[in-house]
Structure 1
Amino acid sequence: MTFRARFRGVTWDHPRGREALRAAAPPDLLAWDVQSLAGFESHPVADLCARYDLVVLDHPHLGAAVEAGCLRPLDELFGAAELASWAEQSIGPSWRSYTLAGRQWALPLDAATQVLAARGDLTGYVPSTWDEVRSLARAEPTALSLAGPHAFLTFASIAVALGEEPAATPDTLVSAETGRAVFDLMTEVDARAPAETRALDPIGLLELMTTTNRLALCPLVYGYVNYSGRVTFGDAPVVAPGGRPGSTLGGTGIAISARARPSAALLDHIRWLMAPRTQREFVPAHAGQPSARAAWHDDDVDAAAHGFYRRTAGTCEQAWVRPRHAGYIAFQAAAAETVRGVLSGDLNPAAGLAQLTDLHRASTREPAR
């Protein structure tokens, strides 16, 4: 029998992003399309909302989406008690990353942040500090995550490890001292990186690590439980033992477009996706990465994931949340180009930091394009 779904959603094209959603969707209620990881990171949410009822999005898109009026605030559709319950169960800052202007715009289905990924059989141990990363980079093939927006996200995470959260004010990205220290560290590690790695997104880096011996260590890459096993994941590096692991929050949220007229059945399906048992059992069983803290600390879930969750939960709890103003996505893309310019030698660090600061200031003062 052929069903025609009443509602359509769009998610991102990786087993972690699609398998659980598609397996769970009643065929007469909901069908899921996919877009690439690059699209998930950069495609305007307003365009997706014009075509879909449900949109799986990245929280930095919220500012532009809210400005465009293309999302339904979820307090119009769900009760205060259930929203509070979901907020309580979500790991780290996942819930508040989808809160803007006092309203909730998406529900965190998936939690992720940048963590360390190592081939322990090649490195001999899993480093925990940036000094250990530096040492291993001299001996084993090591790469930073630099493609797309990730060059800037790596820059931001190292700044966090050094004790300074970026973009604390509209006029300041990071201090000159922190910015120079970040560039020095990134330049040192990147100088020895295999050339092929500079164009790879996080999925490409982890695929390279699992299928070849050409990459032994990536000190900051978005964690994907799907690659745990041959790759050992650990907390993001710290500057000194006991310090904060520098990491930039990722993950995904499910939002409802303003054009949608969700039925009671669709809202109940979303409730089921967020339910603790679904997060602990169904999502991990279908290649997903849950957002519920209890799932990250469940012995069976963690054992099936080769220790991925317990080894990285601390980083997820302390991850930095990116700005979500309307101009942020364009800033993030331009800032990543600037960071790559410094690493390639086309810009000196002082000029690169000045350019980053100018880009940040402009993004907070101009409407999104």
Structure 2
Amino acid sequence: MTITLDGMTWDHPRGRAPLERSIERYRRERPDVAISWTARSLKDFGELPLEALAERFDLIVFDHPFVGQAAKRGLLADLTPHIPADAMAWLDAGAVGPSWRSYHWQGGIYGLPIDAAAQVAAYRPDLMARAQRQPPATFDQLLQLARDLRSDGLWVGVPAVPIDAMCMVITLAANLGRPVPTDRAPFLEREFGLEVIERVRELVSLSHPASTRLNPIQMLDLAATSDEVAYIPYTFGYTNYCRPGVDKPLRFADIVAAGNVASCGTLLGGAGFGVTTRCRNVAEAVRYGLWLCAPDYQRTHYFDDGGQPGMLQAWTDPALDAQSDGFFSGTLRTLSSAYLRPRFAGYVPFFEEGGLRTNAFLRGESSAGALVDWLNDAYAAALRAN
């Protein structure tokens, strides 16, 4: 009897291609298993509630901040009973940064770390060389670079649509040594919050005029297809922009130091492989997920098929690093010390509304004080309702 597993991932070559191309390869090993994958947009990946998806699909590639909500509402299966001891050992030892830990919640495990990412820096080496500019090491140097590039007809670009504006606030707070607490209010102490918000505002004011309308993929596309953006200080890393065959390749690097440690505190991204409670064969679904996460598969087929691995063996593989122009070695320090966001039920709606308000502030529609006060009040309310 054929086992059918229907999956939902996110609509980008990095999220879609390695899963679609795994189907026939897995079928050769498990001929009685039929897998299909559907894709949703990047926006829906970060915002769309899991309820509707959990009713229709067996497998979901999801963003880890949803884990508390998914566990509380019984949307995703706890994978713990289905992960063999040997697999648990290599996952514990071999995942990148806090990626594996991000799917652990209140004693359960609700995802496998098939993909790892964090906010890092990206730049066009050719444009920086043409302008005779060096990548900045500190936040003050970043602001000066933004000013200097204007005289060269170039821009710093900052993805600052609502979600990413909020991500930047959280990253800066953690990089400055005072990360958002995951289990208590306030979101940001008021005076410190004003400092963070004003830093973000100043950076965006000096950046490409489309910054508040572009997400990371759109900003990376702009940098890779035009000669407008030379440097992007905070964007989620994508190996797709630095592989062979890219006409105007980007280079990725650790973030600048707003605080005392350059790479500390950048917001964790990536994607997890979850199994819904609708699935009739959780054991087989987990077997497939572990097969995708296996270090040897991650550093070969998964990367070759366009994926961005979640396992350290791939990130430290010299061949993969060479094929991506130093992407992995250039960003591993940042990812290893990434900040793990709150994941409690109710956090995602707070995060979405906070992003809308932060983006509005960056467009001049509210004050820094009003934004910080709202963030603190709303965060406290979300925690109480959890």
TM-score, with length taken from structure 2: 0.90
1:306 is matched with: 325
Is 2:375 aligned against 1:356? yes
Alignment partner of 1:153 out of 147, 167, 185:
167
Find the residue that maps to 2:8 and give its secondary structure.
strand
CA contact (8 A) 1:342 1:349 kept: yes
Comparing 218-227 with 182-191, which one deviates more in the overlay?
182-191
Per-residue deviation, residues 236-275 of structure 1 (Å, max 9, x unmatched): 1112564443410000000110010227654432222111
Query: 2:240 corresponds to which letter in structure 1?
Result: N
CA contact (8 A) 2:166 2:358 kept: yes
Number of matched residues?
A: 364
Is 2:39 aligned against 1:34? yes
Seen in structure 2, the aligned counterparts of structure 1 residues 321 and 263 have a Cα distance that, compared at 3 Å, is: closer
1:99 is matched with: 104
Is 2:208 aligned against 1:189? no
In structure 1, distance between residues paired with 2:278 and 2:305: 29
Comparing 47-56 with 144-153, which one deviates more in the overlay?
144-153
1:57 is matched with: 62
Seen in structure 2, the aligned counterparts of structure 1 residues 353 and 215 have a Cα distance that, compared at 3 Å, is: same
Comparing 230-239 with 262-271, which one deviates more in the overlay?
262-271
1:201 is matched with: 215
Aligned-residue CA RMSD in angstroms? 1.7
1:70 is matched with: 75
Alignment partner of 2:193 out of 173, 179, 185:
179
Alignment partner of 1:296 out of 315, 335, 338:
315
2:226 is matched with: 212
- CA shift for structure 1 position 25: 1.2
2:137 is matched with: 128
Where in structure 2 are the equivalents of 1:213-362 lying within 5 Å? 213-228=227-242, 230-239=249-258, 242-262=261-281, 265-362=284-381
In structure 1, distance between residues paired with 2:282 and 2:164: 38
Alignment partner of 1:112 out of 114, 117, 120:
117
In structure 2, distance between residues paired with 1:168 and 1:8: 33
Amino-acid identity (%): 32
Query: 1:181 corresponds to which letter in structure 2?
Result: E
- CA shift for structure 1 position 189: 1.3
Query: 1:324 corresponds to which letter in structure 2?
Result: R
Query: 1:326 corresponds to which letter in structure 2?
Result: A
Per-residue deviation, residues 102-121 of structure 1 (Å, max 9, x unmatched): 11110010000000111222
Alignment partner of 1:82 out of 74, 78, 87:
87
Query: 1:171 corresponds to which letter in structure 2?
Result: A
Find the residue that maps to 1:273 and give its secondary structure.
helix
TM-score, with length taken from structure 1: 0.94
In structure 2, distance between residues paired with 1:325 and 1:80: 27
- CA shift for structure 1 position 361: 0.9
- CA shift for structure 1 position 22: 0.7
- CA shift for structure 1 position 5: 7.5
Alignment partner of 2:19 out of 21, 33, 51:
21
Is 2:9 aligned against 1:11? yes
Give structure 2 stretches of 5+ with no counterpart. Answer: 28-32, 150-154, 244-248
Find the residue that maps to 2:334 and give its secondary structure.
helix
Per-residue deviation, residues 118-149 of structure 1 (Å, max 9, x unmatched): 12222332222211211111122112221131
In structure 2, distance between residues paired with 1:168 and 1:32: 33
CA contact (8 A) 2:11 2:40 kept: yes
